[in-house]
């Protein structure tokens, strides 16, 4: 219990929540290659349960998903005091300005649009987790 | 001690008489007051005048008689007012008093005689010819008796002064009559002006058409003092039968619609009066056969060519028609015309404003519809964009990842994903192009007679490989003598392909059945599966664009979300219907119908893309 929470979380897995299997698979490969541990979930409800259980340092969140969309999941994460140190990157195919604004308003740390650049994703993940 | 109000009241009583004194006697009372003033001034003056004691005594006696006369007049005046109003009583009484004064002053030959001229003029101006002549006669009679007694015959001076006295009375009376006539005329005029004001005040109480017409009728009834007033609006003011009726001011003084004989009478009169005169007004009362008198006013305005209405006033036999001055009538006609004109303009304005409001409402609805269409278009674009980005993401990510992995099996997996996502992308692009073309009317349809059985067999054959791979059971029940349909073979094949593809996708390891047959005028084609099924609330949405329904917990469906929307568009272009029956968990059946081809005529307009839902007759 003397350890700092951030050091624990830094080593904890990143959770990917998306209903597109290939997106999950590509992100998994990408982040594994960069040396991170990864957990996946195929819808909002399942994802939120995993986030609460694992308390990850970072969550990748799609928006249009069955069973609780990304905005709702993000809101739930932000309302949970146990998840205060969890970063949220919204990764969506909704690319309009209004969608970005809604994402940030809902508490996202980052909003990235599909199709994404793998290099950029890796860079943002490093930045976010190093600053923690 | 007398206070000021008492003195003031006493003076008022002395000069104007008691408060309840009739107006006709006020002048008379004032003369009595003047006589009292005369007595009060003359009585002390007589002491100073250089006259003999006998003369002074006689003068005082005259003054005493005058005082008694005054008291008598003041007392009797209110009891028998008619005695004094005519003026004869006062004139003769005054004459006798003045004769006494002349007698005291030295007789008719003395300069005192001039007093009689003054008094005669005064009487003539007050009462006119009769009393003035009575007064002069009294003088001449007494003078004549006196002259005969003194001289034995009528002397020159007697004839001379009597003649002048008579002429003076005549002239003064004539002048008095002139003044009186002028005053009466003025009073009549004032009364008519008052009437006009009262009548026109009744107008314009309302701008509403109906009440305005009623107010005109009521005002006319007031002005002419007749209950029998009718208004006949002219043809161009009347929008319907109801407007052309005569409004009539009846005995109860309530404007109402007149009926029966009276209406016919008024209507006839109004028509008769308005027809021969192109403009202006009838100002003459005319006798009607019934002995009634009638007058018609044409109500028109300089700014308006035709007259607005005709106002008919009828006075029953035995009553006097009011003699209103022409300018009063003109003024009244002008104001009533204005009232009717304003009301008619207001009515037009109100109608116009209703029209405008309706137009505005229509416009608002159209605007809403356009906004809705715009929103639909925006949503469609957003959806297309979303659907394009997803496979693009996979393609891009796995292409990049290829470089980092040397393992051949991993690279093969990546390439497989890239390949299938590229296919998904091109499917999506094709579907978007299809639906855009169909819905914008730019699709080229190659319409011809089509043997639907061969289309179904071809489609089934295409799916054989996939069906076997998925370990599916496939049943096919196509009626043998399936009639021809009229349509685009490739598009119909696309419909069947989409439906089979869906069934295979959602019923892994299950059974897919393709059925086709004829029922009356239509051919039906059904594709059934025993897959996951569709929830009731989703059944209507499956044919909408980008509505991928259901719970995709396990595997995301690989469709574009446009397949069924395209099927619906194609089937409806062929004048068919498409629907789904489903039980959640036990499968779905998609069915579409097409009209049986009998002859070419009913389909001709299909070439131009005119999609009217109508079924050809068998």
- Taking only the tens place, the pLDDT of each residue in B463-492 is 887 788 878 888 888 888 888 889 999 999
Q: For residue B272, what pLDDT is reported?
A: 59
Closest B-chain CA to A21: B556
| DSSP state at residue B313 | E
**Higher pLDDT among residues B559 and B533, named by residue:** B533
Does residue B115 surpass a pLDDT of 50?
A: yes
* Range in A31-40, B61-70, B470-479, B534-543 the model is least confident about: B534-543
Banded model confidence at residue A9, pLDDT cuts 50, 70, 90: very low
Q: How far is A84 from chain B (nearest CA, A)?
A: 29
Q: Sort out which chain B residues have CB atoms less than 8 A from A30's CB and list them.
A: 397, 401
> What pLDDT, in 10s, does the model give residues B11-35?
888 888 888 888 778 878 888 888 8
Nearest to A23 by CA among B417, B483, B198: B417
Question: How does DSSP classify residue A84?
Answer: T
Using a CB-CB cut-off of 8 Å, the residues of chain B touching A19 are 552, 556
**Nearest-CB residue to A95 (from B385, B397, B401):** B385
SS (H, E, C) A19-73: CCHHHHHHHHHHHHHCCCCEEEECCHHHHHHHHHHHCCCEEEECCCCCCCCHHHH
Written as one string, the DSSP assignment of B473-508 is EEEEEE-TTPPPEEEEHHHHHHHHHHHHHHHHHH-T
Q: Is the pLDDT of residue B254 over 60?
A: no
- Tell me how far apart the alpha carbons of residues B275 and B293 are, in angstroms, rounded to a whole number: 19
Q: Is B551 in the A-facing interface, judged by CB distances under 8 Å?
A: yes
Structure tokens at B11: 């003076």
Residue whose tokens read 């007589």: B46
Test A114 with B389 for CB contact under 8 angstroms. Answer: yes
Q: Tell me whether B390 touches chain A (CB under 8 Å).
A: yes
Which residue did the predictor score with more confidence, B516 or B103? B516
**pLDDT recorded at residue B280:** 46
Cα–Cα distance between B282 and B296 in angstroms, integer?
6
* A interface test, pick of B393, B402, B558 with most A CB neighbours within 10 Å: B393
CA–CA min distance A116, chain B (Å): 6
Per the CB < 8 A criterion, the answer to whether B504 and B511 are in contact is no
Tell me how many degrees the CA angle B177-B179-B184 measures, rounded to the nearest 5.
Answer: 90
Per-residue model confidence (pLDDT) at position B207 = 78
pLDDT at residue B240 in the model:
53
Residue in B21, B17, B20, B27 with CA at minimum distance from that of residue B180: B27
What is chain A's length? 132
| pLDDT above 70 as % of chain A | 90
- Which range scores top for mean pLDDT: B231-245, B302-316, B402-416? B402-416
**Highest-scoring range by mean pLDDT, B181-195, B308-322, B339-353, B473-487:** B181-195
How many angstroms separate the Cα of B299 from the Cα of each of B277, B279, B410, B594?
A: 12, 9, 103, 72
pLDDT band at B520 (very low <50, low <70, confident <90, very high): confident
By Cβ distance, the residue of B382, B397, B552 closest to A19 is B552
At residue B156, does pLDDT exceed 50?
Answer: yes
Q: How confident is the model at residue B618 (pLDDT cuts 50, 70, 90)?
A: very low
Note which residues in 416-445 of chain B have CB less than 8 A from chain A: 417, 421
Mean pLDDT of the region B588-597: 90
- The per-residue b/e assignment along B197-211, b for 16 or more CB within 10 angstroms, e otherwise, is eebbebbbeeeebee
In the numeric block, the tokens 């050809």 are attached to B616
Residue B9 has pLDDT above 50, yes or no: yes
Local structure of B195: helix, strand or coil: helix
Residue B228 pLDDT greater than 90, yes or no: no
The percentage of residues in chain B with a pLDDT greater than 90, rounded to a whole number, is: 17
Contact B447, B488 (CB under 8 A): yes
The predicted model gives B34-56 an average pLDDT of 83
A93 closest CB neighbour out of B390, B552, B556: B390
Pairwise CA distance, residues A87 & B17, whole Å: 112
- What is the pLDDT at residue B94? 86
pLDDT of residue B2: 56
For residue B271, the 8-state DSSP code is H
- Per-residue pLDDT band for B554 (boundaries 50, 70, 90) equals very low
A44-89 per-position pLDDT tens digit: 899 999 999 999 999 999 988 877 888 999 999 999 998 888 999 9
Residue B263: per-residue pLDDT = 60
- pLDDT score of B138 more than 90: yes
Mean pLDDT score of chain B, rounded to an integer?
Answer: 81
What average pLDDT does range B147-169 have in this prediction?
Answer: 91
CA distance B416 to chain A (A): 11
Residues 6+ apart with CB under 8 A from B434: B443, B494, B562, B566
Cα-Cα-Cα-Cα torsion B355, B360, B366, B369, nearest 10 degrees, comes to -130
What is the arithmetic mean of pLDDT over B505-514? 82
Q: In chain A, whose CA is at the least distance from the CA of B552?
A: A66
Alpha carbons A110 and A115: distance in angstroms, whole number: 15
pLDDT score recorded for residue A31: 92
**Chain A: residue nearest B411 by CA?**
A29
When CB atoms are compared, the residue of B404, B554, B556 closest to A20 is B556
pLDDT tens-digit series, residues B344-371:
888 888 888 999 999 999 999 999 988 8
Angstroms from B397 CA to nearest CA on chain A = 6
Mean pLDDT score of chain A = 85
- Report yes or no: B398 at the A interface, CB cutoff 8 Å: yes
What average pLDDT does this structure show over B272-296?
A: 60
C-alpha count within 13 angstroms, C-beta hemisphere, residue B313: 29
The predicted model gives B283-291 an average pLDDT of: 67
Residue B259 is encoded by which pair of tokens? Answer: 């009926």
Is the pLDDT confidence value at A5 over 70? Answer: no
Phi, psi (deg, nearest 5) at residue B524: -115, 150
Nearest-by-Cβ selection for B553 from A33, A42, A118: A42
Q: What is the pLDDT of residue B104?
A: 79
Phi and psi (nearest 5°) for A13?
-75, 155
pLDDT band at B158, cuts 50/70/90?
A: very high
Q: Is the pLDDT of residue B270 over 70?
A: no
Q: Return the pLDDT at B283.
A: 57
- Look at residue B613 in the predicted model and tell me its pLDDT: 41
CB pair distance less than 8 Å for A93 and B551: no
Choosing among A115, A116, A123, which should be mutated to test the B contact, i.e. which has the most B CBs within 10 A? A115
- Provide the pLDDT for residue B297: 75
Q: Kindly write down the DSSP assignment for every residue of B22-74, as one continuous string.
A: -GGGHHHHHHHHHHHHHHHHHHHHHHHS---HHHHHHHHHHHHHHHHHHHHHH
Spatial separation of the C-alpha atoms in residues A42 and B351, rounded to whole Å: 64
pLDDT beyond 70 at B249: no
Q: What number of C-beta contacts closer than 8 Å exist between A and B?
A: 75
d(C-alpha B304, C-alpha B237), whole Å = 12
d(CA B575, CA B571): 7
User: Given pLDDT bands bounded at 50, 70 and 90, which one contains residue A3?
Assistant: very low
Cβ separation A26–B401 shorter than 8 A: yes
CA distances from B308 to B231, B282, B340 (A): 10, 15, 7
**Cα radius of gyration (chain A):** 14
- Are the beta carbons of B397 and A113 separated by less than 8 Å? no
Q: How does DSSP assign B526-576, residue by residue?
A: EEEE-SS---GGGTTGGGSTT---S--SSS-----S-HHHHHHHHHHHTT-
- Say yes or no for a CB contact (<8 Å) between B397 and A20: no
Q: Which of B343, B322, B341 is nearest to B196 (CA)?
A: B322
Pair B275, B235: CB distance under 8 Å: no
Q: How far is B585 from chain A (nearest CA, A)?
A: 18
Token readout for B81 is 């007012």
In sequence order, the 6+-apart residues with CB closer than 8 A to the CB of B433 are: none
Q: Which residues of B touch A114 (CB under 8 A)?
A: 389-390, 392-393
Among A22, A119, A124, A91, smallest CA distance to B400 is for A119
Determine, for residues A93 and B385 on separate chains, whether the beta-carbon distance falls below 8 Å.
yes
Pairwise CA distance, residues B498 & B158, whole Å: 146
Q: Please give the Cα distance from B562 to B545 (Å, whole number).
A: 5
pLDDT in tens, B83-92: 777 888 888 8
Among residues B517, B502, B512, which one has the least CA distance to residue B453?
A: B517
Per-residue pLDDT tens over the stretch B414-447: 999 999 889 888 888 888 888 888 888 888 888 8
**CB B116 within 8 Å of CB B165:** yes
Task: Report whether pLDDT(B311) > 60.
Answer: yes
* CB of B556 less than 8 A from some CB of A: yes
B405 contact A CB<8A: yes
Assess whether pLDDT exceeds 50 at residue B616. Answer: no
Quickly state the pLDDT bin for B251 (edges 50, 70, 90): low
B145 touches chain A (CB under 8 A): no
Q: Which pLDDT score is estimated for B537? A: 78
pTM across the whole model? 0.49
**pLDDT over 90 at B336, yes or no:** no
DSSP characters over B130-193: HHHHHHHHHHHHHHHHHHHHHHSS--HHHHHHHHHHHHHHHHHHHHHHHHHHHHHHHHHHHHHH
């Amino acid at each position: 219990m003397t350890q700092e929470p951030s050091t624990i979380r830094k080593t904890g897995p990143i959770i990917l929540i998306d209903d597109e299997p290939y997106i999950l698979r590509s992100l998994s490969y990408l982040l594994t290659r960069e040396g991170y541990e990864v957990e996946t979930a195929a819808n909002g409800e399942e994802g939120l349960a995993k986030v609460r259980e694992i308390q990850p340092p970072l969550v990748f969140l799609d928006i249009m998903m069955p069973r609780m969309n990304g905005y709702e999941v993000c809101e739930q994460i932000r309302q949970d005091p146990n998840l205060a140190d969890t970063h949220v990157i919204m990764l969506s195919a909704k690319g309009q300005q209004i969608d970005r604004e809604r994402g940030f308003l809902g508490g996202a740390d980052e909003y990235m649009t599909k199709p994404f650049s793998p290099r950029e994703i890796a860079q943002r993940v490093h930045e976010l987790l190093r600053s923690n | 001690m007398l206070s000021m109000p008492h003195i003031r009241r006493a003076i008022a009583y002395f000069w104007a008489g008691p408060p309840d004194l009739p107006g006709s006697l006020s002048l008379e009372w004032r003369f009595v007051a003047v006589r009292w003033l005369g007595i009060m001034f003359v009585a002390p003056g007589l002491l100073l005048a250089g006259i003999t004691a006998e003369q002074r005594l006689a003068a005082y006696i005259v003054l005493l008689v005058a005082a008694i006369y005054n008291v008598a007049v003041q007392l009797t005046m209110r009891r028998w007012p008619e005695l004094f109003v005519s003026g004869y009583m006062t004139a003769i009484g005054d004459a006798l008093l003045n004769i006494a004064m002349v007698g005291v002053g030295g007789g008719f030959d003395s300069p005192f005689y001039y007093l009689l001229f003054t008094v005669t003029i005064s009487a003539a101006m007050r009462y006119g010819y009769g009393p003035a002549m009575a007064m002069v006669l009294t003088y001449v009679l007494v003078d004549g008796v006196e002259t005969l007694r003194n001289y034995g015959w009528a002397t020159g001076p007697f004839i001379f002064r009597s003649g002048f006295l008579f002429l003076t009375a005549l002239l003064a009376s004539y002048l008095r009559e002139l003044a009186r006539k002028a005053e009466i005329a003025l009073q009549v005029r004032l009364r008519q002006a008052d009437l006009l004001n009262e009548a026109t005040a009744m107008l314009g109480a309302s701008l509403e058409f109906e009440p305005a017409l009623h107010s005109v009728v009521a005002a006319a009834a007031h002005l002419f003092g007749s209950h029998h007033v009718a208004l006949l609006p002219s043809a161009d003011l009347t929008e319907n039968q109801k407007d052309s009726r005569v409004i009539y001011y009846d005995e109860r003084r309530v404007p109402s619609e007149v009926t029966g004989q009276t209406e016919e009478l008024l209507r006839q009169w109004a028509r008769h009066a308005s027809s021969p005169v192109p403009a202006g007004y009838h100002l003459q009362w005319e006798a009607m056969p019934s002995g009634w008198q009638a007058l018609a006013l044409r109500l028109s305005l300089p700014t308006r060519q035709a007259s607005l209405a005709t106002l008919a006033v009828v006075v029953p036999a035995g009553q006097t028609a009011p003699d209103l001055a022409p300018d009063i009538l003109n003024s009244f006609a002008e104001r009533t015309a204005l009232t009717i004109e304003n009301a008619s303009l207001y009515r037009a304005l109100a109608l116009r404003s209703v029209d405008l409001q309706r137009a505005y409402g229509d416009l608002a609805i159209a605007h809403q519809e356009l906004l809705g269409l715009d929103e639909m278009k925006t949503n469609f674009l957003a959806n297309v964009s979303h659907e394009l980005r997803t496979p693009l993401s996979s393609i891009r990510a796995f292409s990049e990842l290829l470089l980092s992995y040397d393992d051949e099996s991993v690279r093969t997996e990546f390439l497989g994903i890239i390949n299938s996502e590229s296919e998904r992308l091109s499917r999506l692009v094709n579907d978007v192009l299809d639906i855009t073309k169909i819905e914008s009317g730019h699709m080229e349809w190659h319409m011809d007679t089509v043997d639907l059985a061969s289309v179904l067999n071809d489609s089934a054959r295409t799916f054989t490989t996939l069906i076997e791979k998925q370990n599916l059971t496939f049943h096919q029940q196509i009626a043998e003598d399936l009639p021809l349909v009229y349509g685009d073979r490739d598009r119909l094949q696309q419909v069947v392909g989409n439906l089979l593809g869906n069934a295979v996708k959602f019923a892994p390891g299950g059974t897919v059945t393709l059925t086709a047959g004829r029922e009356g005028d239509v051919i039906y084609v059904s594709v059934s599966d025993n897959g996951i099924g569709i929830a009731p609330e989703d059944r209507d949405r499956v044919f909408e664009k980008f509505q991928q329904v259901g719970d995709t917990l396990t595997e995301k469906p690989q469709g574009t979300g446009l397949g069924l929307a395209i099927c619906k568009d194609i089937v409806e272009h062929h004048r068919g219907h498409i629907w789904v029956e489903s039980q959640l968990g036990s499968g779905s059946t998609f069915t579409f119908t097409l009209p049986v081809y009998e002859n070419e005529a009913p389909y001709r307009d299909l070439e131009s893309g005119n999609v009217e839902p109508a079924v050809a007759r068998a």
